[in-house]
Amino acid sequence: MNKKKIYTGGLVYSTHQHVVQEEIEDENDTLANALQTLKVKLDSKQRAGKVVTMIEGFIGKQADLESLGKILKTKCGTGGTAKDGVILVQGDYLTKITQLLQQMNYKVKGK
């Protein structure tokens, strides 16, 4: 189910019967792998001291982000999540994920 945002031109509420709400897409098309630069870093903030590998900077549809996250989690043999343009993989897999992304033709930045 695709969620769509309703654009009302800044209008919050109207009792007028002829107000038309336009639908606009809230997701951008996914850029090709070679055009994306992903930032890979370790993070442990607000995670009870447990380390996660964080991949930021993905530009594209949520489904494609989740697909990439699933591939990375499977290759690392661990869990994680993918939402809001960020993939979190449980554990310290900085080197392995960097290599995997480079093999998939992504540009990768370290810390």
Residue-level pLDDT at 19? 56
% of the chain at pLDDT higher than 90:
59
Range list of β-strands (E), 21-66: 22-25, 37-43, 52-56
Evaluate whether residue 2 is within a structural domain.
Answer: no
Domain hosting residue 43, numbered range: 28-109
Q: Classify residue 23: in a domain, yes or no.
A: no
Q: Measured between alpha carbons, how far is 80 from 71 in angstroms, rounded to an integer?
A: 11
Tell me the per-residue pLDDT of 64-109, one tens digit each, with 9 for 90 and over: 999 999 999 999 999 999 998 899 999 999 999 999 999 999 999 9
**Domain assignment of residue 22, yes or no:** no
Residue 4 lies in a domain: no
Contact indicator for 107, 37 with CB cutoff of 8 Å:
yes
pLDDT of residue 26: 52
Cα separation of 43 and 66, whole Å?
Answer: 20
* 39 closest CA partner among 104, 94, 96: 94
| Number of domains observed in the structure of the chain | 1
Q: What CATH number is associated with residue 72?
A: 3.30.780.10
Choose between 64 and 10: higher pLDDT: 64
What lies within 8 Å, CB to CB, of 23 at 6+ separation is: 4, 5, 6, 7
Evaluate whether residue 66 is within a structural domain.
yes
Residue 21 above 80 pLDDT?
Answer: no
